[in-house]
Amino acid sequence: MRVPTIAVSLLLMGCAAPSTHFQGIEPVRVTVEGSSFDLRQRGTLIEAVRINPEYAPRLGPLRDRARRAMAASSGCRVRWVMGDQALLLGRLDCRDRL
């Protein structure tokens, strides 16, 4: 009984973990319209990991919320966002900040 419990615990711990490119970067937590994201930025790439439970979130509205969270966190314009309902990646355009 102990092995399944440990296996499930390890799987759940990995749900909010950053991808390899963003490891070691402290997240900035931003909430937009009830969707909470842990955001990590490296250069012009930014990653949003959704950390709150939502029942069957649609990608369209979720992508827009992630884009707004990315812009709020970085202060930059977001050129594009792609991914799924749990992990989204964006490209930043920070020319206005120079």
Q: What is the pLDDT of residue 21?
A: 82
Number of structural domains in the chain: 1
Residue identified by tokens 């309902």 is 85
pLDDT confidence band for 16 (50 / 70 / 90): low
Residue 42 half-sphere exposure toward CB, CA atoms < 13 A: 11
Q: Residue 85 corresponds to which tokens in the numbers above?
A: 């309902």
C-beta separation of 94 from 76 below 8 A:
yes
pLDDT single digits (tens) 34-63: 999 999 999 999 999 999 999 988 999 999
Whole-number average pLDDT of the chain: 86
Q: Whole-prediction pTM value?
A: 0.79
C-beta separation of 87 from 80 below 8 A:
no
Task: Provide the residue range defining the domain that includes 13.
Answer: 2-97
pLDDT confidence band for 2 (50 / 70 / 90): low
